[in-house]
Structures are given as C-alpha cells and as structure tokens.
Amino acid sequence: MANIPVGSLTEAMSRFAYLVCQTAPLHFFIVVPLLYDTDINDSCGKPTPAHTATYFITNMNFRQCDKLLEDYGETFANDGFCEFGFVTSDPMKQIRADRMKTVTIFGLDEREASLVLDPLGIPEVESLKTAGDLVGPDNPAIGRPACRNGITAADFVFGLDHDFELIKNPSYGGDPSLMFHPDGTLRWT
C-alpha cells in the first residue's frame, strides 16, 4: 500500500501506462457528474447531478497516454468532481483516481508496483490515509472543478477540440473496469 500525493498522481499514471503498454493497449476513462451533461436530464428537464456518465478513449498506446496526461492530467488530478484512470483487460490492470483522488492500482504484481511507485519516492505504508482521515468539521472539503490553462474536465469531455475520440457509455455511471470484455473489446454493461 502507498499514499500517492496529488502532485505525483499524473506521473504515477504515466509510469503505469508505460509499464502496461509494453504488452497491451490501454483505455482511458473519465467519469463526470451528469450535471455537466446536457443530454441526460431528470423528469423536469434539469441536469441530474446525482448520477455520473463514463467516457472512454480506447486502444491507446503509451505516446497517446502520455500526451493526454501532459495536456490534461493536472486538470483531472485537481478536479473535485471527476474520476479518471486507465484500464486494460488482458490481463486486467487498472489505475484509477476517484473524486477524492484516492488512487487504486490493481492487477500489478509487487515488482510492477515498485516500478511505478519507487522512482517517485513513494514508500510502502502499513495503513493508507484517505480523504476521510483528512476531512472533517475543522478541515472541510469543497469539490470544485479545476481550471488549468483555461480548461476544465468538463471542457475536455464536452466540446474541447482535441485529438482524442471520446466514446460515451450509454448507461449511467458504472465501474469502468467491468465494461471491457477479456478479449479486449469494449462492451456496455
């Protein structure tokens, strides 16, 4: 186990992508509140903030992953609403940062995990610190969209002119790792 500071998050994801792309393409995912999404509304026609939508960029090589993180990683890492990460399905490996930027890495063996974390100076720990350990009445958390270089996560998803083709999962939210079949194809749950 390790605590990955937000300042090291994109570098950890880049190192994960480099390691995994040696043997398989990666799929990027970003989960955003539907409040950002103008085509999903409640029964009154208003955006529904209680749900999320998942978007994917499929079959990425390391160069594409690194470019995405270089251009937008800091925005995603500092955004208080989005979740994001990379997943591959054969074998299943994933790195994911949730809304509170608690990072989960799974599918890596101990050697692979050390290749991702050791160069960043991130030590193994006995117990993890989570947002629940840090946030409380004396230290409240406020989720806000991050804006870096004039771009937010919502801009990336909804209209920013970039070189990546986003595919929207037509169902509500869901766990992105469950949407990839072991044969590497993208399947909606």
Q: Where are the domains of the chain?
A: 6-175
Closest CA to 179 of 51, 92, 64: 92
Residue 138: the pLDDT is 80
Residues of the chain falling short of pLDDT 50: 36-38, 40-42, 46-50, 172, 174, 177-189
Specify the pairing of strand 26-33 against strand 52-60: antiparallel
Contact criterion met (CB below 8 Å) for 27 and 86: yes
Q: Residue 75, class by beta-carbon neighbours within 10 Å (0-12 exposed, 13-18 middle, 19+ buried)?
A: buried
pTM above 0.75, yes or no: yes
Contact criterion met (CB below 8 Å) for 3 and 125: yes
Buried residues in 23-54 as b, exposed as e (16+ CB within 10 A) = eebbbbbbbbbbbbbeebeeeeeeebeeebbb
Q: How far apart are CA 31 and CA 37, in angstroms?
A: 11
Distances (CA, A) of 97 to 27, 44, 48, 143, 163: 14, 32, 22, 14, 23
Using CA of residue 100, residue 102, residue 105, residue 111, what is the dihedral sign? positive
Q: How far apart are CA 180 and CA 165, in angstroms?
A: 17
